[in-house]
Amino acid sequence: MPGERSSSVGAVWAILIKECRGEWRTRYGLNSALLFAVTTLTAVSFVVGRIGERTDILAALLWIVLMFAALASLAHTFVREVEGHTLTLLRMIASPTSIALGKLIFNLLFLGVLEAVTVPLFLVLMGGPPLHWARFLEVLGLGSLALAAAATLVGAVIAQTRGRGALFAAVSLPILLPVMAGAVSGTRGQWNGVPVDAELRLLAAYAAALLGMSLVLYDHLWED
């Protein structure tokens, strides 16, 4: 029998690889998220054209597109297990914390791929002042971490509920408001050349709080 501690890292890794392989084969989440991002950006650019120097609108639009493109797919990592009746299998081979951590890391990678396509497309279509890359990537990284942590936690909690689609939106929106506020303000700040340390601290603290809360809650999930 494997030792509990020694198997935890391996379990997280195996679940992460399983998630990546499953997404690569079905491309369900990535295709729909990318389609949403590209369609939204293209539609907005046709309607309003290049936004140029309006950094407040640019920052808000970027994070709205990222958030809505990502949310449905991020929550789906758990919902898919419930709808495919594979949650019992997962629970028999890994602890809830290992399962959730594997899915959290997958969600972060998923966000990274989504952003690698969406951000350049956004900059091309919407315009805007030159980026301060280091600051921008810090805001993007911490915002993504908080977004993934929140979506994974809420996805895990609502996965076995009825009407989970509506519940996910209702529960995740208030949890995500501080993330959106910090990320939008930080993104705008780096464009305007003002310090964004406060926003970075907010995002880091919020992501840390969400991750800490998740680690406490995950072992109590899915009690019938």
Partner 1 sequence: MSAAVLPAPAVALASLSARELAHRYSPRRGLEPVSFEIEAPGVAAVTGPNGSGKSTLLRIVAGLLRPNRGACALRIGGREIERGARRLSVGLATPELSFYDEFTVGENLMFAAQTQGLADPRGRVRESLERVGLWVRVGDRADALSSGMRQRLRLAFALLHRPPVLLLDEPGSHLDEAGRLMVARVVREQGERGLVLIATNDERERTLAGRTIELRGRGLGDPD
Give the footprint of partner 1 on this chain (CB under 8 A): 1-4, 6-7, 10-11, 13-15, 17-18, 21-22, 25-26, 84-86, 88-89, 91-95, 98, 219, 223-224
160 and 83 Cβ atoms separated by less than 8 Å: no
Two tokens, residue 46: 């046709």
Nearest to 196 by CA among 151, 145, 138: 138
CA distances to 36, 108, 110, 184, 199 from 193, in Å: 30, 27, 29, 14, 14
CB of 10 to partner 1, least distance (A): 5
Measured from the CB atom, is 3 or 130 closer to partner 1?
3
CB of 80 to partner 1, least distance (A): 9
Two tokens, residue 202: 């907010």
Measured from the CB atom, is 183 or 221 closer to partner 1?
221
CB of 164 to partner 1, least distance (A): 18
Q: Amino acid identity of 59?
A: A
CB of 23 to partner 1, least distance (A): 10
Measured from the CB atom, is 97 or 185 closer to partner 1?
97
